Chains A and B, each alone.
Chain A
Amino acid sequence: MTVLDELNSDDLAETCLAVGTSDALIVILKRRAEVLSVRSAWKSGSLQEADVRDFVSTLSASFIRGRRFPGDVALCGLAVALASLPGDFIYSFLNELGSTHTIELPMSPRVAVMMLRERNRLLTETTAKRYCLRAPMPRHPGKAREASATTVPRVGYTSTHFRLAA
């Protein structure tokens, strides 16, 4: 069983299906071992984009129109696990999932939208902190105001993180 398969376990589904709000579901998923394992695997490089695509494709095979999608909880877990990690693929994943407005997926699109919002907020904050560490001190005190007003956004826009957040 891979780390992704664990997101599709009955144990996780049993806990999560009995949670009525997406806010609470996110808080619970953030602490689940299955979700933390996926996050670690992605950070270490042992989990890649192709694995996630294959996983989603496998889940989709169990889709039945008009019935609750059995992979809904697994997609919630995946969205929570990956949301705060950098990369265009994760942004696309959350964006696409968040715009899947079908009754068969009642929770995962909502969780994806909330995680996308959290991701944008986190990455913007990360960029601001990085800029502060790298910013040169102004050489001419008289031009300090000009430097602080114009340099900050330019440097920020060169960052991949900031581009995603904007």
Chain B
Amino acid sequence: MFEELRLLGTPRVSIELQTTMGSDIPNSQAPGPDSRSLNLFNKLLRDHPRWRERKPACGGYNCAGHVWASRRTAIYGDDEGDDELWKLVLREDGYRMLKADEEPRSGDLVIYYVPAFRLALHVGMVSNIEHLSLTGSPAAGPIPWILSKWSDSYGEVLHHFKDVPWTFDPDISFWTDRP
């Protein structure tokens, strides 16, 4: 059934990638975006007018590849699933979850989870702290804005940490490598 795709397709290309402690991180460079991905990315930009596009749609890397592989490759996980891999990377790269009374800072990570399942959906990097609410009006306190690559075939955008592309509200936690 899939012979044609196997014959015509491009073999996966990986690069050497490890955690700080030396565990291998399975990876595969992502293909370029197709026309559907381009259309969907443009639709998301229209639906989320406060997103700021940093980079147009591109392949190569996904959200995890953006924060943990410096945009060189995509991290999809191995056959054991990628949620466990993300936990391994966080642990071996020395990340800890921020406590409720700690403020995120630039360079920290935000991870979105499927509500009730605690399965990771997306990872982005805190870019800057602003005093802007979801509606664009001044916020009472500092609000983290996130640099995200929402898909391996989308571009990078800056967004309010609660301005997400899903129709459900994800669980959110911030992680840092600071002591």
Q: Which of A116-147 contact B (CB under 8 A)?
A: 117
Residue numbers in B under 8 Å from A63 (CB-CB): 4-5, 8-9
Among listed A35-43, A97-105, A152-160, interface-contacting one? A97-105
B152 and A21 contacting across the interface, CB-CB below 8 Å: no
A33 at the interface (CB under 8 A from B): no
The answer to whether B34 touches A69 (Cβ under 8 A) is yes
Contact of A60 (CB < 8 Å), options: B4, B13, B151: B4
Whole-angstrom CA separation of A117 from B50 in the bound complex:
42
A66 to B74: give the CA distance in the assembly, Å: 15
Q: Which of B36, B59, B77 is packed against the most chain A CB atoms within 10 Å?
A: B36
Binary flags per residue of B131-169, CB closer than 8 Å to A gives 1, else 0: 000000000000000000011111000000000111100
Q: Are B82 and A68 in contact (CB under 8 A)?
A: no
**Distance A28 CA – B8 CA, assembled complex (angstroms):** 30
Distance of A14 Cα from B74 Cα, bound (Å): 19
**In the bound complex, what is the Cα–Cα distance between A10 and B36 (angstroms)?**
8
Give A69 to B36 CA distance when docked, in angstroms.
9
Q: Which of B90-98, B101-109, B112-120 contacts A (4 or more CB under 8 A)?
A: B112-120
> In the complex the two chains form, is B6's CB within 8 Å of A102's CB?
yes
Contact A20 B121 (CB under 8 A): yes
Determine whether the beta carbon of A70 is less than 8 Å from that of B34. yes
Question: Could you say which residues of chain B place their CB within 8 Å of the CB of A107?
Answer: 76
User: Does chain A have a CB within 8 A of B49?
Assistant: no
What string of 1s and 0s marks CB contacts (under 8 Å) between A5-45 and chain B? Answer: 00000100111011111111001100000000000000000
A113 at the interface (CB under 8 A from B): yes
Q: Cα distance A55–B8 when bound, in Å?
A: 18
B123 within 8 Å of A (CB atoms): yes
Please tell me if the beta carbons of B120 and A67 are within 8 angstroms of each other in the complex. no
A13-B40, A66-B10, A113-B79 known; A20-B123 Cβ under 8 A? yes
User: What residues on B are CB-neighbors of A27 within 8 Å?
Assistant: 114, 117, 119
B25 proximal to A (CB < 8 A): no
* Docked CA distance A20–B64 (Å): 7
Inter-chain CA distance A27–B81, complex, in Å, is 12
B37 at interface, CB cutoff 8 A:
yes
* Cβ-closest chain A residue relative to B9: A102
B110 cross-chain contacts in A, Cβ below 8 A: none
Out of A28, A69, A102, name the residue touching B11 (CB < 8 Å). A102
The answer to whether A53 and B30 touch across the interface, beta carbons within 8 angstroms, is no
User: Roughly how many angstroms separate A46 CA and B68 CA in the complex, as a whole number?
Assistant: 46
> Mind listing 10 A-B residue pairs with CB under 8 Å?
A21-B82, A21-B83, A21-B121, A22-B76, A56-B1, A92-B1, A100-B6, A102-B9, A103-B9, A106-B30
Q: Which residues of A contact B (CB under 8 A)?
A: 10, 13-15, 17-24, 27-28, 53, 56, 60, 62-70, 92-93, 96-97, 99-107, 110, 113-114, 117
Task: Using CB atoms and an 8 Å cutoff, list the residues of chain B in contact with chain A.
Answer: 1-2, 4-6, 8-13, 28-37, 39-40, 43-44, 59, 62-64, 74, 76-77, 79, 81-83, 86, 113-114, 117, 119-123, 150-154, 164-167
